[in-house]
Structure 1
Amino acid sequence: LEEKLQQIQQALDAQDPAGFLDAEEAMLTCVFERAGNQTLMSFIRTLWARSRYYKMVGVKDVFETGNIALLYDEAAQFVAGATTQDEEMALDALLTALKRAEDGIRAELG
C-alpha cells in the first residue's frame, strides 16, 4: 500500500489526473482483493471502467485549483486505516473521497 501511495504522489506531482485515478484504483484493488471475492472485484472493475469519465470530472476541479494535497490526504487516510485495520478510518476516507467527487461532478454538470 505504501508503494501505491507513492505512485499516487507521483501522479499528483506530474499533474496527471488519469495517472492518479490509475494509481488510486491500484491502491484500492490491493485492499479489495484481500476479501477474496472475485465476483465483487469483477463488479468493482466494471463499475470503475464505466464511470471513468465521471471520475475524471470528479477530480478535475481539484487539479485545476491546485488543491491536489487533498487527494493525497484522502488516500493516505485510507492506507492508514487499512494498514491498522481501522475499518472506521478507512471507510471515512472512502466516504470523504466519494463526497468530494460527487460535489465536483455536480458542480461541473450542473
Structure 2
Amino acid sequence: MTLPKLETAARVGDQAFDALHAAISNGDYPAGRRLQIRNVAHELGISVMPVREAIKRLEEMGLVETQPYRGAVVKDFTPTELLHIYAVRRVLEVEAAAQGTKNLTREDFQHLDDLYAGLRRAVEDNQVIDYLDQDEMVLTTVYSAAGNPVLIEMIRTLWGRCRHYKIVGARDELDLGNAVHLLEHQERLIQAVKLGDSAAAARITAESIDAASARIRQALPRNR
C-alpha cells in the first residue's frame, strides 16, 4: 500500500498522523510492519520531522513500538496483552452501555437502525473494514449517550489497539460462513436500548466482549 501525497499546509504533522493512523486502522499497515521514517516521508511527499512527530503520537497511543535494530513498527499484541485490553474494555463498555441506554432518543433509534442496515450490507459484501467501522459507530452512538467524553475517548483508544485482531476475527468468521455471528450482538443490543433496558444492554455488551476474549484464548496461541 502506498500512502497518498499530502498537501503542503499548516499542521502537516496532523496530516501525517491521520494518514498513518488510517493505514494501520484499515489493515494496510499490518502488525509488525516497519515504519521507516524516510520512506514514509517520501511516500507522503513531506519532510521527516512531521513523520517523526506522527510516529511518536502513534507510539503514545500504543499502536506503534520501537524495537531494537528495527526502529518503529506497527505493534503486534500478544494474546496476553489482548486479553488485558479486552478486560479493560469490558469494564468501560458495560458501564457505557448501561448509562447510554438511559439517554437515547427516538432519533438515536433511527440512526441505530440505519447503521445496522449498513452492517448487514458490509457483511453481505464481505467488506470487513466497512463492517468494523459501522460496528464502532453503533457502539459509539449508544456509549456517547452516557454523556462522558473521557469514557468514549478511552474506549476508542482501546478499539484502536485491538483493531488488527478485530480485522482478523471478522475475516475468519466470514471465511467460515459464520456471518450471523457478526450481527447477533448488535441486533440484540439495539433491541435492548430501544426498550430502555439498561441491564440487558450491559449484559449483551459483556457477552460480546467475553466471546471475543474466548476466541483470543482459543485461536491466537495456535497461530504463534
Shared fold by TM > 0.5? yes
Offset, 1:100: 2.3
Tell me how far apart the structure 2 counterparts of residues 44 and 78 of structure 1 sit (CA, whole Å). 17
Cα shift readout 1:30-89 (whole Å, capped 9, x = no counterpart): 011111111111111111111101222333332121111122121100101111111222
1:60·1:104 contact (CA, 8 Å) conserved in 2? Answer: no
* 2:187 equivalent to 1:80: no
| Aligned match of 1:93 | 204
Residue 108 of structure 1: aligned partner: 219
Q: Separation in 1 of the partners of 2:172 and 2:208? A: 13
Partner of 2:120: 9
TM-score by length of 1: 0.88
Q: Is the contact between residue 12 and residue 20 of structure 1 (CA under 8 Å) also seen in structure 2?
A: yes
SS of residue in 2 equivalent to 1:15: coil
What secondary structure does 1:40 align onto?
helix
Question: CA 1:96–1:54 in structure 2 vs 1: closer, same or farther (change >3 Å)?
Answer: same
**Which AA in structure 2 matches 1:101?**
A
75-84 or 100-109: bigger deviation? 100-109
TM-aligned CA distance change 1:107 to 1:59, over 3 Å:
farther
Unaligned runs of 5+ in 1: none
Q: In 1, Cα distance between the equivalents of 2:198 and 2:154? A: 22
Q: Determine which of 127, 131, 152 is the counterpart of 1:41.
A: 152
CA distance in 2, matches of 1:94, 1:57: 20
Question: 1:60 maps to what in 2?
Answer: 171
- In structure 2, relative to structure 1, the CA distance for the partners of 1:57 and 1:102 (3 Å cut) is farther
Question: Which segments of 5 or more consecutive residues in structure 2 lack a partner in the other structure?
Answer: 1-111
Paired residue type of 1:64 = D
* Aligned mates of 1:4, 1:92 — CA distance in 2: 21
Equivalents in 1 of 2:188, 2:130: separation in Å? 19
Aligned length: 110
Q: Alignment RMSD, CA only?
A: 1.5
The alignment partner of 1:49 has SS state of helix
Identity of aligned residues (%): 30
CA distance 1:75–1:85, change in 2 (3 Å): same
Contact between 1:59 and 1:101, CA under 8 Å: does it hold in 2?
A: no
**Length-normalised TM-score, structure 2:** 0.46
- Aligned-partner SS, 2:191: helix
Q: Who wins on radius of gyration, i.e. which is larger?
A: 2
